[in-house]
A and B are shown apart, each in its own frame.
Chain A
Amino acid sequence: DAKTTQPPSMDCAEGRAANLPCNHSTISGNEYVYWYRQIHSQGPQYIIHGLKNNETNEMASLIITEDRKSSTLILPHATLRDTAVYYCIVRHTGFQKLVFGTGTRLLVSP
């Protein structure tokens, strides 16, 4: 699976959009981009995933660059409950395991 690079931490004001970047420059054509988050002492929560088109669901939007070498997770109106570690994961469709890196620790403040 391709390696991902994320900033270790980010801050966001409550009510503002949180834009979390991820670099995956070695991604291959069969690899999807997945985003999860983990709140302390809980299991990871699936947020969104995509291959090459932008995706949106009730939680977030995923913007993938045309060359697929990077992506951005957008939380449109961050709340205090969005404070968590966010993981960007690239996984080949033929492999079962998710490889979690160190992620981005997002702190949403009032």
Chain B
Amino acid sequence: SQTIHQWPATLVQPVGSPLSLECTVEGTSNPNLYWYRQAAGRGLQLLFYSVGIGQISSEVPQNLSASRPQDRQFILSSKKLLLSDSGFYLCAWSGVGAHQPQHFGDGTRLSIL
């Protein structure tokens, strides 16, 4: 069966510091990969998605970037964190196919001080 791993589960970072969140998927090949953010008390916002290695689409302009160095690895990065980057970051994967559901990881709760 397929599994998705995100780490770390929680992270506290100072303003201006860099960020790297990693997500890996097991048990499937060539998945679509996604990064979402959920601000406190709000809905999920799609940040990036990828349909293949090195292919990244950005949904909203922001202080973050994403990379997909391997088929089942998706990384969310920032060079300098802002206070507004605080939130719950979720990675998700889906199979290839127009209506395949997305499956989410357990998320990383990021607090910026």
Please tell me if the beta carbons of A44 and B90 are within 8 angstroms of each other in the complex. Answer: yes
Secondary structure type dominating chain A contacts: loop
Q: A42-B106, A45-B104 are in contact. Are A97 and B98 (CB under 8 A)?
A: no
Please tell me if the beta carbons of A43 and B106 are within 8 angstroms of each other in the complex. Answer: yes
Secondary structure type dominating chain B contacts: strand
Residues 74-113 of B at the A interface (beta carbon under 8 Å): 90, 92, 98-99, 101-107, 109
Q: How far is the CB of A6 from chain B (nearest CB, A)?
A: 13
Q: How far is the CB of A62 from chain B (nearest CB, A)?
A: 12
Residues 72-86 of A at the B interface (beta carbon under 8 Å): none
Please tell me if the beta carbons of B44 and A51 are within 8 angstroms of each other in the complex. Answer: no
Q: How far is the CA of A41 from the CA of B107 in the complex (A)?
A: 8
**Which residues on A sit within 8 Å (CB–CB) of B105?**
43
**Which residues on B sit within 8 Å (CB–CB) of A44?**
44, 90, 104
Q: How far is the CA of A44 from the CA of B101 in the complex (A)?
A: 12
Q: A96-B34, A97-B49, A101-B43 are in contact. Are A51 and B104 (CB under 8 A)?
A: no
B32 close to A (CB within 8 Å) = yes
Q: A43-B105, A44-B104, A102-B43 are in contact. Are A97 and B99 (CB under 8 A)?
A: no
Chain B interface size range: 20 to 34
B46 close to A (CB within 8 Å) = yes
Residues of chain B having any CB pair with chain A under 8 Å: 32, 34, 43-44, 46, 49, 57, 59, 90, 92, 98-99, 101-107, 109
Which 9 pairs between the two chains have the least Cβ-Cβ distance? A43-B104, A93-B98, A97-B46, A100-B43, A46-B101, A100-B44, A43-B107, A96-B49, A32-B99
Interchain Cβ contacts under 8 Å between A and B, 14 examples:
A34-B101, A41-B109, A42-B107, A43-B90, A43-B105, A43-B107, A44-B104, A46-B102, A46-B103, A91-B99, A96-B46, A96-B49, A100-B44, A102-B43
Residues of chain A having any CB pair with chain B under 8 Å: 32, 34, 41-46, 49, 51, 91, 93-94, 96-102
